[in-house]
Structure 1
Amino acid sequence: MKLDQLQAVTAIVEQGSLRAAARRLGLPQPALTRSVRALERELGVELFLRQTTGMVLTEAGERFHRRASVIVHEARRAQEELALDAQQAKGSVSVALSIAAHVGMLPQALGPFRQRYPQVQLQITEGLLPDVEAGLRDGRIDFYLGAAPAQPPAGGLLMRHLADNRRAVMCRRGHPLAGATGLAELAGAEWATTAVDYNAEADLTRLFTQHGLPVPRVMLRARSAMTLIVALAHTDLLAMLPVQWGNYPVTRDALQVIPVAEALPAPPLVMIRRPDLPLTPAAECLADVLCRYLPAGG
């Protein structure tokens, strides 16, 4: 079994077809086919079902791919770390950030990181832990930094508390309710929620009921931060979001915070990664720079 055979398997899974995988690896398609078939003969199992729509893993292939992916990505890390030690700062860093980290930490961190590692490619995914956990476990993602999950991750992942966080009620500039100072004044409003913030809708409902107010009417559920920005900027919808949104330059001219007196807690910010996969110097640098811009008191 050779590393290039493991790379072939992971490329086929990620690309979905032999042709696309061969193109990504820079190999002729027949050579890639021969490599996979030789591996299947060595293992004594069929790894892929060859269908008209592409290549699909068998049950044995699923088990093999989980192991192969870890090996391939750890080999990449080792190569990059050696290159970095030799002052040949190339390679890549792959991280996942929640929206709070995106708007509150990434803007200030990008410049210093790029100055330190100008040749390192960054791969950044927006999401919460359930969206990226598989990538953390198989080594495709170096670390997650963002809102803590409702339950600690299962074994094999290390979670470290970084800072507490808060939410704010956001609306468009010039909104009729922009001057409200309490939740009671927002009882008749319509709301938007988003999957980029844990439990936002449930927490919003709980917050209103705790103060004896009717359950808020959620009229839009956005699957992305961009959808939410557009909806808030062009309607009278309100949203309860990580407080970092209120200071983000890109949205500051379009959105504003409604200064309600009630406390609006948010999940704390955490870092999650595999403890058995050491971060490369570049990934460690990015983590350190991001953490310089944690919320005050973190």
Structure 2
Amino acid sequence: MASPIKLHQLRAFVEVTRQGSIRAAARLLSLSQPALTKAIKELEEGLGARLFIRHRQGVQLTECGEAFFRHASLILEELRAAQEDIQQRLGNIGGRVSIGVGASVARTIMPEVITRFHRAYPHVKVRVLEGQLVSMIPELRQGELDFTINTYYHASFDNELLYEKLMEKEYRVVGRCGHPCAGARTLQELMQCDWTLPTPRGSYYKQLVDLFVSLGVMPTVSVTCETFMSSTSLLAKSDFLSILPRDVIEDPILGQQLMAFDLDLPLPRATFYLIQRKETALTPMSAHLANLFRQHCRASA
């Protein structure tokens, strides 16, 4: 029969997994290596399973360890969120909020929303992760992200998450001002150009690939830029083309460097959602930040 699991054992296991070594985890937790090793050993004995394979470079999870880590890290995150929830309801405003945003949201909406939130709650620490939804799924599953504002494409994880529609954005083909093909009116005329796009991993860019296939065209993506900064920098200083939100191009600074092509066939609009894990309530601070995003999106609609 398995022995009861103690909280310090869970913390020891999760931190050793994240750090990749007992030495690094011991330093982070301000514990001695023997104490940490003992906690892991007691946990393995209690579970009746080996969780780590130890080697010179550190530790590696076994199959049982990988399965247990998913549960253990989620338990600790849920406990942290529960403690912060109670403290915030008692008026002790602190803790942290961790969110994800798509690149265009990071450039347009996020700065104003985060500034408003910080002015109201200066003692709450905020972490912002930028990227496509699929890259954030592991952290959403483990409770390390409270929510994300992003586009999504139907996938196997749909049943794990809640999707609340916030807004739509118009996307355009974009190049530098004075681009040699500035007069083009169809996608077909631009297929010989060099293109840069992010990897179409379950997002609006996957939707674009479907559009290209239906039209019988496919741009040659010679360079893959996964960040907004790298993409716009490349566009401004070369003849590469990309597809970006219209409101990003209307930015006063970028508008001096980049132009949107006036094509006869408009690109599909991107739908952005507030996405969070099912059956997990947001803490008061996370819920307040989510409401600020809702208000901003409604005001911009």
Scaled by the length of structure 1, what TM-score is found?
0.88
Give the counterpart of 1:234 among 230, 237, 249.
Answer: 237
How large is the Cα RMSD of the aligned pairs?
A: 2.6
The DSSP-based 3-state class of the residue aligned with 2:150 is: strand
Give the counterpart of 1:35 among 39, 44, 54.
Answer: 39
Question: What is residue 89 of structure 1 aligned with on the other side?
Answer: 93
Question: What is residue 200 of structure 1 aligned with on the other side?
Answer: 205
Alignment partner of 1:150 is 2:150: no
Distance 1:44 1:232, change over 3 A: same
Alignment partner of 1:260 is 2:263: yes
Deviation at 1:142, TM superposition (A): 0.9
Question: What is residue 172 of structure 2 aligned with on the other side?
Answer: 168
Question: What is residue 130 of structure 1 aligned with on the other side?
Answer: 134
Give structure 2 stretches of 5+ with no counterpart: none
Question: What is residue 287 of structure 2 aligned with on the other side?
Answer: 284
Q: How does 1:67-82 map to 2 (within 5 A)?
A: 67-82=71-86
Q: Following the alignment from structure 1 to structure 2, what is the Cα–Cα distance between the partners of residues 297 and 226? A: 24
1:246–1:252: 8 Å Cα contact kept in structure 2?
Answer: yes
Deviation at 1:106, TM superposition (A): 0.4
Q: Following the alignment from structure 2 to structure 1, what is the Cα–Cα distance between the partners of residues 280 and 206? A: 35
Question: What is residue 159 of structure 1 aligned with on the other side?
Answer: 163
Amino acid at match of 1:264: L
Distance 1:40 1:106, change over 3 A: same
Q: Following the alignment from structure 2 to structure 1, what is the Cα–Cα distance between the partners of residues 114 and 75? A: 29
Scaled by the length of structure 2, what TM-score is found?
0.87
2:16–2:22: 8 Å Cα contact kept in structure 1?
Answer: yes
Q: Following the alignment from structure 1 to structure 2, what is the Cα–Cα distance between the partners of residues 243 and 206? A: 18
1:70-106 deviations in Å (ceiling 9; x for gaps): 1100111011122222333221111111112212210
Q: Following the alignment from structure 1 to structure 2, what is the Cα–Cα distance between the partners of residues 234 and 295? A: 35
2:200–2:206: 8 Å Cα contact kept in structure 1?
Answer: no
70-79 or 274-283: bigger deviation? 274-283
Distance 1:266 1:21, change over 3 A: farther
55-64 or 161-170: bigger deviation? 161-170
Q: Following the alignment from structure 1 to structure 2, what is the Cα–Cα distance between the partners of residues 120 and 70? A: 21
Distance 1:204 1:153, change over 3 A: closer
Distance 1:171 1:67, change over 3 A: same
Amino acid at match of 2:258: L
Alignment partner of 1:20 is 2:24: yes
The DSSP-based 3-state class of the residue aligned with 2:160 is: coil
Q: Following the alignment from structure 2 to structure 1, what is the Cα–Cα distance between the partners of residues 110 and 212? A: 29
Q: Following the alignment from structure 1 to structure 2, what is the Cα–Cα distance between the partners of residues 253 and 84? A: 45
1:89–1:119: 8 Å Cα contact kept in structure 2?
Answer: yes
The DSSP-based 3-state class of the residue aligned with 1:292 is: helix
Alignment partner of 1:107 is 2:111: yes
Q: What fraction of aligned residue pairs are identical, expressed as a percent?
A: 32
Distance 1:284 1:193, change over 3 A: same
117-126 or 66-75: bigger deviation? 117-126
Distance 1:293 1:139, change over 3 A: same
Q: Following the alignment from structure 1 to structure 2, what is the Cα–Cα distance between the partners of residues 196 and 252? A: 25
Q: Following the alignment from structure 2 to structure 1, what is the Cα–Cα distance between the partners of residues 168 and 247? A: 12
Q: How many residues matched?
A: 296
